Amino acid sequence: MVTDPARFGLAGAADAVRAAFPMVGAWWLLFTIPCLFWVRDEKPAAAPAAGGAPKAGWREFRATLHEVRKYRPLVWFLLAYWLYIDGVNTVIRMAVDYGLSLGFPQQSLIAALLITQFVGFPPALAFGWLGRRHRRAHRHLHRDRHLCGDVRRGLPDERTVAHFYAARLP
């Protein structure tokens, strides 16, 4: 929609972004409705006093941290996920910055990010399935995926949009 606003009857990219916000809101609403009807929350014992709500919130936060420390694998998972997602965001930002420095239009960079998401999703599911099915192969799958990345880095320079897209493939 942002890359070709005329196809959707919009005047420009700014109108496309403005139209995207309500669409995203409708998407979230669509998936929130089942939660509202089928997920039951516990009733609070008693509401804190008006001035005591921040203090009660911090007390509850400290209690949650104390509980989380009891589950060492959870702590490691949260730390690993935090580092992983920070790495993903860094790669995205650097790829966009690199593309901009090569003079690629914004639409091409958006397309490259979308290609990465849509092309990378099925192999991620396949690697997970294969890893569960063949425990011993899990190590090799991980190694092979990195090997594919090393081979891909040997592509010719990325001065064209096509090479830039090819380098984003898993």
Domain interval for residue 6: 1-42
Q: What's the confidence (pLDDT) of residue 33?
A: 92
110 and 135 housed in the same domain: yes
Mean of pLDDT over the chain? 80
> Between residues 129 and 150, which one has the greater pLDDT?
129
153 and 109 housed in the same domain: yes
Place 28 in a pLDDT band, splitting at 50, 70 and 90: very high
| Number of domains present in the structure of the chain | 3
Helices 161-168 and 106-133 sit at what angle, rounded to 10 degrees? 20
Is 16 a member of any domain? yes
Is 48 a member of any domain? no
Q: What's the confidence (pLDDT) of residue 88?
A: 85
Is 47 a member of any domain? no
Tell me the pTM: 0.49
Lowest mean pLDDT among 64-78, 82-96, 123-137: 123-137
For residue 150, pLDDT beyond 50: no
